[in-house]
Amino acid sequence: MQHHSSKPRVGISSCLMGDTVRYNGGHQRDNFVMDVLAKHVELVPFCPEVEAGLGVPRAVVRIVRRDEHEFLLESPSGRDHSEAMRDTLTQISRRVLDADLDGFLLKRGSPTCGISGVKIYTGTERKSRVVARGSGFLTQRLAADFQTLALAEEGWLKDAMLRQQFLNRIFTSRRLKNLGNSPKVSELQQEYAAHKLLYMAHHPGAQRELGRQVAGLKGSLSSDQLQDHLDQAQSVLGHRLTRGRHVNVLQHMFGYVSSKLSRVCRRHTCEAIDSYSRGQTSLLAPLTLLKHQVLDKGAHPWLVKQVYFDPYPSSLW
C-alpha cells in the first residue's frame, strides 16, 4: 500500500520515542529524533518485546547461540521466547509492509532491536560467555524481508556523515514514492536527473549504471519497473558517503560555473572546497557558496534543480 504522504515514514523502536516499554519500565527518549526529526517525518512505533507478551517490567533477554541457532532467552531463568518473538516479527513484517516505510530507527545494543554489536552468548545460564557480536532479532528480520529499507541506530544520527546517509535515503525514497503508482517514464527520468549529483556523492559508478537503466525505459512504466527503480535508487544511496566523494561532486559543480565567476570568487570557492576536503569546515560551507553561484550565474537548468543542494530540510543538517 502506498501512503501518498509528502513526509518520509519511519519505523522506530518505541522506547526511543519516550514510551515506557523497556525491561526496567523506563524509556530511552532520543531528543534529536523527537524534538527535531519528528517535525519532518511520520514516526511509526514498534516494540517487539512488548508485542511478544514479555510485559513491562520484565526480565532481561539475550541472544544465546547453540548448535548454530540463535535463541532469545530470558536471564536468569533461561525461559525461551524465540518462538513468540518469531511469530511477533511475522506480524510486524506485515505491518511494516502496509505502513510503506522509508526507513527504520532502532535502539542500539538491544537483543531485539540492535543493528550491530549486539552481544551473542553461548553456554549455560551459569556459565555463559560472549562469543560474537551481531544484530537483534527484529533487525535480522527487517534485513531479510526488506533488503533496501534504510536502517539506522539511534547513535548514528549524531555522526554527520551517517545522518546524511540515512536522511538521503528516507527523503529520496519518499520523493520517488510521491510520484504515485503510475508516473510517466519522462517523470521518472526527470526525477533521476534531479538526483544525479546526490547519487554521484554516494557512488559514481552505481549512479551511472542507474542512469543507463533510466535512459533505457520506454513506453509506459510497469509497477515492477517502478519498484525496481526504487530499489536500485536505495541501493545506490546505500553506498557510504565519504568526504572524498563529496569533494568530487563539489568540483564537478564548480566546473559548470567557474568560467562565469570572477577571479576572487573562483579562489574563494576553491578554498572552501579545499577546507572541506581537509576536514576544517562542514559540507554546508562550500555547498552554500556553490548554490548561490549556480543560482546567480544562471547555470544549466538541471544543475539549478539538483536535490544535492537541499536533500532534506535544513534544520536536519
Q: Which residues bind ligand SF4 (CB under 6 A)?
A: 13-15, 21-22, 47-50, 107, 110, 112-113
Nearer to ligand SF4, 22 or 195 (CB): 22
Q: What is the Cα–Cα distance from 43 to 105, expressed in whole angstroms?
A: 9
Q: State the nearest-atom distance from the C-beta of 312 to ligand SF4, in Å.
A: 25
Q: Which helix (H) or strand (E) holds 273?
A: helix 263-277
Q: State the nearest-atom distance from the C-beta of 66 to ligand SF4, in Å.
A: 22
Q: State the nearest-atom distance from the C-beta of 135 to ligand SF4, in Å.
A: 12
Nearer to ligand SF4, 46 or 199 (CB): 46
Nearer to ligand SF4, 107 or 203 (CB): 107
Q: State the nearest-atom distance from the C-beta of 143 to ligand SF4, in Å.
A: 16
Nearer to ligand SF4, 15 or 289 (CB): 15
Q: What is the Cα–Cα distance from 150 to 143, expressed in whole angstroms?
A: 9
Nearer to ligand SF4, 17 or 206 (CB): 17
CA angle, residues 241, 247, 251, in degrees to nearest 5: 140
Q: State the nearest-atom distance from the C-beta of 123 to ligand SF4, in Å.
A: 24
Q: State the nearest-atom distance from the C-beta of 107 to ligand SF4, in Å.
A: 4
Nearer to ligand SF4, 24 or 220 (CB): 24
Q: State the nearest-atom distance from the C-beta of 224 to ligand SF4, in Å.
A: 34
Nearer to ligand SF4, 112 or 164 (CB): 112
Looking at the DSSP bridge assignments, the partners of residue 132 are 120
For the chain, report the end-to-end CA distance as a whole number of angstroms.
30
Q: State the nearest-atom distance from the C-beta of 235 to ligand SF4, in Å.
A: 27
Nearer to ligand SF4, 104 or 312 (CB): 104
